[in-house]
Structure 1
Amino acid sequence: MIDEIAEESGFSGVVRIDQAGEVFAKAYGLANRTYGIPNTVDTRFGIASGSKGFTALAVLSLVREGALALDTTARSLLGDDLPLIADDVTVEHLLTHTSGIGDYLDEESDLDVTDYVVGAVHELTTTEAFLPLLGGHPTKFPAGSRFGYCNGGFVVLALLAERASGVGYHELVRERVLRPAGMARTDFLRADELPADAAVGYLPLDGIDRSNIFHLPVLATGDGGIHTTAADMAVFWRALYAGDIVGSVADVLRPRIDVPAESKRYGLGFWLDEHTDAAMLIGGDAGVSFKSRHDPQTDTTWTVLSNTSPGAWPIARQLASI
């Protein structure tokens, strides 16, 4: 089935399914089209917003230690920065996309990621460097009143985590999420110096597939873009549910708000199935598409990673329907 969909859609990426101790893993397409380098099951892919879950877990580890609280206001750590963020916006609002703050990358608008270019991407190497992008966006709705997917909110979370802990965001995620989970091949990779085992992202521009290097920040921050492998995602879900990252996942994955437009619910940094206990991480951007889902009832995990904008979705839709 997967082979057939991959052939029909021109899929470039990796699919992995873990179920009842059995593993299916297969790679398709090219990691680098210029040099004809094929994807392998060990290729590292950017996962765009899929890494919002990692940001959430780093923040929640600080909550568990008392350095932050879910009711900590953003303003208490922002000081005079980002004055348009309302005084009552809390860490929990940001984690659940209910903050109402204006977004530098607003997915509620008619956004085409192929057309969107983020300013001077080569300068976006730290969380603080995003401040000029985050500022100047008026509040969209009162905090807590509804769901409104917000990329900027997770950059703000990364900023709050840095200021509360005194540790840079990238190292926070490495120390508090990646290492405890045993994700040895997941990391923040610079787009302008990708290693040989990382896939280049591609998107169609003027009828030609080109690299996404001018479309994404050169180094990912809180709202997404870490690179990982299909095997590391399987490791991640096992570690999360085993309590190796932030202890019990009950509060992390408790539904906080319904999102009927997506036929899903949302917890703290994680998408949740509308009717079951399954949890998901999902990411899509220029030259990137990703979905990973774990169902604790059937102990089934599947992950689809692609280095094209639409690549993951046909296979992910089929897997979700099984």
Structure 2
Amino acid sequence: MGSDSVRGVGRRRLLGWGGWGGLAVVGGAQSAGARTAHAAAAATGPRAIPRDTRPGGAYDRYLAKLAAEDRFSGVVLLSHRGRTVLSRSYGMADKEKGIRNHEGTAFNLSSAGKPFGAVAVLQLAQRGRLRLSDTVGTHLTGFPESIADKVTIHHLLSGISGLDTPEEDLQRVFRSREEVREFYEKWARQAKPVGPPGTPTDHAGAEVAIPALIVEAVTGMTYWDYVEEHIFKRCGMTGTAFFTRPQWLTDPHIAHSYMRQADGSRVDAVRNLDKGSPDPLQLGKNPARSYIDFPGDGGFATAPDLVRFAHALGDGTVLDRPYAELLTAAKIPLAPQGGGGLRAHRTTPADAAFTTYMMPVSLIDGQWLNGRAGVNPGSLASWNIYPDSGWVGVVLGNHDDAPFQEIIEQEMNAVLGKT
């Protein structure tokens, strides 16, 4: 699964992922273990909390400047060993109703939610309901032999299935969960091999949809219901869900996504289904046209909930420790430079970078960094876990034009003490 050095880090993580074991959930009461851990962290000196991560520090000042220039609207959060160090909210969640963004606002995750699917599969694996070596045909019918008999769950989760899928229908306006479910099942079955299993295909299309179908086949639940019940609920992610378009339109705690148009204006995606993005990378897309997010996206989440998810991965809440380590274990090396997909937000120079199950992992200045980012028209999302030092960083936004990669680089620099 990885080199000896990677397995060595794995053994340390099994003992608590950088000291996270026993820490209180963000926003909840602190246990005696949490208070002891916090005291120990404070005793290690100023480097335990780099000055640029604190209120008034370089990262905070940078974000405030972006917001003042109307270049960022959203929420950022930095948490160290279960304690919030920095939490900031900027801009409006719903301009029409005058609702401001706040820490409890839920934002569209796009691809930042892909690891939820990998966690769902690993939960079933640890319960003996499936094996990662199972082929697609073990659980699903209707696929050609080149997929059914050769492509394994491991290939799919690792992004090396060698499969390609036709483009999504970006113009279609869906009207129900059932309509979305029927579409992504048919869409997944249109996958075709572009190379043998082992060929990198970057967690696109079928590599997300097929594992979701396997979760449904094994459990008898829809993918959305399974993830909400066995991941969000178990982690205490009370503000996170696969909200439907009617909920997005009416629930005051869900941020509307504001897309930049060719004439320079910004429009509310959920109130303007006839409008799409002019960005060549997402041309014509409007995320609100989907009644509920496809499995390739992650629904909506609040910043504190993503911190809860990060800690649940580290303390055995959502996966047994060996399976949590399997989720983030380095698998396939990534090129130093990359464009979209997994590498889209990994522009900071790294000692090494790898795929894992549905997300990248990097070594930066001798520290592991796990996380996932996603971009939809009018929204952006990132959560980063620094398991060796106990940090979690979250960035959630609901405007186009934010310098997303730069924001994440500034977060990394602040946490790693590089500014």
User: TM over 0.5: same fold?
Assistant: yes
Amino acid of the residue matched to residue 185 of structure 1?
G
CA distance in 2, matches of 1:192, 1:201: 14
CA distance in 1, matches of 2:181, 2:143: 13
CA contact (8 A) 1:84 1:137 kept: no
CA distance in 2, matches of 1:131, 1:310: 33
CA contact (8 A) 1:127 1:158 kept: no
What does residue 316 of structure 2 align with?
A: 243
Going from structure 1 to structure 2, the CA distance change for 1:19 and 1:56 (only over 3 Å counts) comes to: same
2:345 equivalent to 1:256:
no
CA distance in 1, matches of 2:254, 2:144: 35
Shift of 1:174: 1.8
Going from structure 1 to structure 2, the CA distance change for 1:225 and 1:288 (only over 3 Å counts) comes to: farther
What does residue 110 of structure 1 align with?
A: none
Shift of 1:129: 3.0
Amino acid of the residue matched to residue 13 of structure 1?
G
Amino acid of the residue matched to residue 319 of structure 2?
V
CA contact (8 A) 1:9 1:314 kept: no
CA contact (8 A) 1:127 1:155 kept: no
CA distance in 2, matches of 1:73, 1:304: 36
Q: Which has the larger Rg?
A: 2
Going from structure 1 to structure 2, the CA distance change for 1:137 and 1:70 (only over 3 Å counts) comes to: closer
Aligned partner of 1:153 among 203, 207, 218: 207
CA distance in 2, matches of 1:148, 1:205: 29
Matches within 5 A, 1:106-121: 117-121=170-174
Q: What's the secondary structure of 1:197's corresponding residue?
A: coil
2:359 equivalent to 1:306:
no
Going from structure 1 to structure 2, the CA distance change for 1:7 and 1:252 (only over 3 Å counts) comes to: same
What does residue 111 of structure 1 align with?
A: none
Aligned partner of 2:222 among 168, 193, 196: 168
CA distance in 1, matches of 2:144, 2:244: 27
What does residue 302 of structure 2 align with?
A: 229
Shift of 1:72: 1.1
What does residue 316 of structure 1 align with?
A: 408
Amino acid of the residue matched to residue 203 of structure 1?
M
Amino acid of the residue matched to residue 16 of structure 1?
L
Going from structure 1 to structure 2, the CA distance change for 1:118 and 1:172 (only over 3 Å counts) comes to: farther
Shift of 1:14: 0.3
CA distance in 1, matches of 2:211, 2:387: 28
What does residue 75 of structure 2 align with?
A: 14
Matches within 5 A, 1:57-136: 57-81=119-143, 85=147, 87-105=149-167, 117-123=170-176, 125=178, 126-136=180-190
TM-score (norm 2): 0.69
CA distance in 2, matches of 1:302, 1:72: 35
CA distance in 1, matches of 2:398, 2:387: 28
CA contact (8 A) 1:74 1:87 kept: yes
What does residue 290 of structure 1 align with?
A: 381
Shift of 1:266: 1.5
CA distance in 2, matches of 1:313, 1:27: 19
Shift of 1:153: 1.5
Shift of 1:123: 4.8
What does residue 210 of structure 1 align with?
A: 267
CA contact (8 A) 1:157 1:222 kept: no
Going from structure 1 to structure 2, the CA distance change for 1:82 and 1:5 (only over 3 Å counts) comes to: farther
CA distance in 2, matches of 1:94, 1:61: 16
CA distance in 1, matches of 2:84, 2:227: 30
Going from structure 1 to structure 2, the CA distance change for 1:122 and 1:258 (only over 3 Å counts) comes to: farther
Aligned residues: 313
What does residue 109 of structure 1 align with?
A: none
Q: CA RMSD in A?
A: 2.2
